[in-house]
A and B are shown apart, each in its own frame.
Chain A
């Protein structure tokens, strides 16, 4: 069972929800796909870390073979190549490593070379296996790292897997939720929160994923995100109150369910609700 946790903006509580769910589950896998700013490891403080570097293939020019036909330049949607003074230049950081230019070059003047764009770390914290994706600063895309993180052997079939997604609704999020069985959308009780919730709502609808919403930081007053869910008939999985104790624990990199019974009960109940939803989905939409 793979559960992806996502939101339209940063700071809504994706990591709070996914880390605490993974920690309360009996045996689980936590995968941090927020490769530009992974922070789940700060809470889990995983032990026995193993690292793997992630390479991509980018073009390298053989200047003796290049005749300046510019087919590669015209093809590249990211404008990663330029032809100056009879010399082809590759901008490594702009290249999205699609390999198109290499395939296209009639002179075979472009060959593949490997470039390391980041790494994947694996470690454990109690019964949780933690995978962290780390993209090097300045790289064009974290997708190759996410692909490695979600490679079939990582989320073990008999365990629950929680995928902590990057914020937003761009390619990098699509890659993170692609194979998820269920999506949890985390939302804040503001108009801005609704705007961002709507973005991920549209995304999970587009991907035809079963989903529900966790309303975080709930206050006594009216909640625009709740109103949005009621209007769209979206399943509300849980309401997490605005709670300075919870916020403080989280800010001090403490896992709330490991510190306090109240939060243990809160996240156990959320996990139960989510598990039921996923099972219901598997029965109705196998």
Chain B
């Protein structure tokens, strides 16, 4: 199983990025091989629709689950169409969140926000 997480830095000890669509990197962790791959999020500087583009990256990298503190409506639609489940991270490192997820300690992200779209919050 492949696990995707938005991260601030390219290390397993990195914090989970507060933004899904505009995170600088994604960590793709393979739970079977224990291999970590860091990919640049080319949606970070988008004028709009960053969540859609970032979600496309997650789909294209064949992740099965996404661990994130939050997620917008459009990105969630993309992930849902690809049958990718979204789990809510705890305020800890990427590695700790992966361990917690594997131990079944993370719950599904049930709160999908309507997006910020340049208005700084809603």
Contact = CB atoms under 8 A, between A and B. Distances in A.
B91 interface: no
A101 to B, nearest CB: 13
Given A79-B43, A82-B78, A84-B82, A91 B49 contact: yes
Interface in A7-26: none
B78 A89 contact: yes
A79 B81 contact: no
A78 B48 contact: yes
A85 interface: yes
A82 B48 contact: no
B53 A79 contact: yes
Contacts of A87: 81
A78 B56 contact: no
B47 A82 contact: no
B28 interface: no
A84 B81 contact: yes
Q: How large is the interface on B (under 10, 10 to 19, 20 to 34, 35 or more residues)?
A: 10 to 19
A94 B74 CA distance: 9
Interface string B12-45: 0000000000000000000000000000000100
Contacts of A262: none
Given A73-B56, A84-B59, A91-B52, A79 B46 contact: yes
B81 A94 contact: no
Interface string A86-114: 01010100100000000000000000000
Interface of A is mostly: loop
A78 B53 CA distance: 9
A142 B49 CA distance: 18
A82 B53 CA distance: 7
A214 B106 CA distance: 58
Contacts of B56: 73, 79, 82-84
A77 interface: yes
Contacts of A84: 56, 59, 78, 81-82
A174 interface: no
B78 A79 contact: no
Contact of A94 (B43, B52, B55, B59): B52
12 contacts: A73-B56, A78-B49, A81-B52, A82-B78, A82-B81, A84-B59, A84-B82, A85-B81, A91-B52, A91-B74, A91-B77, A94-B74
Interface of B: 43, 46-50, 52-53, 55-56, 59, 74, 77-78, 81-82
List 10 A-B pairs, minimum CB-CB distance, nearest first.
A79-B49, A79-B53, A84-B81, A78-B48, A79-B52, A94-B49, A84-B82, A82-B56, A78-B49, A82-B78
